Amino acid sequence: MKLPGWRTALGPPVGLILALALAACGSGSAAQPCRVCAAELAQTRADTYATVAKRTYAEEVYGTPNGAAFHVISRISALLDGLTTGDYALARSAMHHQPIRHAVAVRVTRGGRTLIDVGLRFVVGGRVHALHNRQGTYLGRIEISIQDVIGFIRLIHRLTGCDVVVEGSTGQAMSSLAAASGVRLPDRGLVVVAGREYTVSSFAERGFAGEPLRVSILDPR
């Protein structure tokens, strides 16, 4: 998947930011920066990796693959017929057998009522679309997620080399670092996990069906 901007975020701008931060510290040098400068540089790098993660998350929600999934799913006859006639079992069956393999969760709501909710339980948020049948009748709002949380974690780990923890408001949590499970992570700063130091940068995201998520980037020192 092409991720606009992530190469820029990980390339020369990061070096420029770190160089400027180091130059601003009068008590250090490029070879032996002071401890304060070293901590600032580590935090700047972790924050930059967090920006990469934010951009990647937005791409999963709003990018072309999600739009392509909606284009196919919104034209499945059994889904449209089931929602039109109130045969929600037919509509759910259609979603269980829909052809888009990377569509990991599908939810349809109308008037505050959930009509369909199928797929994995802990997934990245999806773009919400208005759904209409072939006659133009409004059937509800459909949300499609094309990525589960563990897949997102693996992707960010591969792009940045950092470990990642994602916590949901319902108590679900996943991580690329098993030892980080249950560790209280700061929004920003230093944490020690299994005897190793990590610089943390955390941010909030919207998960599937609007669930609040907290994503923490752990950059090893």
The answer to whether residue 71 sits within a structural domain is: yes
Q: Provide the pLDDT for residue 9.
A: 40
The answer to whether residue 98 sits within a structural domain is: yes
The answer to whether residue 167 sits within a structural domain is: no
3-state SS of 105-124? EEEEEECCEEEEEEECCCEE
* pLDDT of 108 over the 60 cut: yes
The answer to whether residue 117 sits within a structural domain is: yes
Per-residue pLDDT tens digits for 155-183: 999 999 999 999 999 899 999 999 998 89
How large is the average pLDDT for residues 26-37?
58
Give yes or no for a contact between 125 and 206, defined as CB atoms under 8 angstroms apart. yes
Report the mean per-residue pLDDT for the chain: 88
The answer to whether residue 72 sits within a structural domain is: yes
The answer to whether residue 7 sits within a structural domain is: no
How large is the average pLDDT for residues 174-199?
94
Instruction: Please name the amino acid found at residue 25.
Output: C
Per-residue pLDDT tens digits for 51-98: 999 999 999 999 999 999 999 999 999 999 999 999 999 999 999 999
Number of C-beta neighbours around residue 34 at 10 A: 14
The answer to whether residue 191 sits within a structural domain is: no
Q: Provide the pLDDT for residue 6.
A: 40
pTM of the shown model? 0.82
Phi then psi for 92, rounded to 5 degrees?
-65, -40
- Cβ neighbors of 66 (< 8 A, separation 6 or more) are 60, 126, 127, 144, 146
Give yes or no for a contact between 179 and 193, defined as CB atoms under 8 angstroms apart. yes
> Domain residues for 93?
66-145
- Cα radius of gyration (the chain): 21
The answer to whether residue 33 sits within a structural domain is: no
53-54-59-61 Cα dihedral, nearest 10 degrees = 120
Question: What is the number of structural domains in the chain?
Answer: 1
157-163-168-170 Cα dihedral, nearest 10 degrees = 120
Q: How far apart are CA 221 and CA 142, in angstroms?
A: 43
Q: 């490029």: which residue's tokens?
A: 30
* pLDDT of 8 over the 50 cut: no
What percentage of the chain has pLDDT greater than the value 90?
79
Per-residue pLDDT tens digits for 117-166: 999 999 999 999 999 999 999 999 999 999 999 999 999 999 999 999 99
H/E run at residue 54: helix 35-62
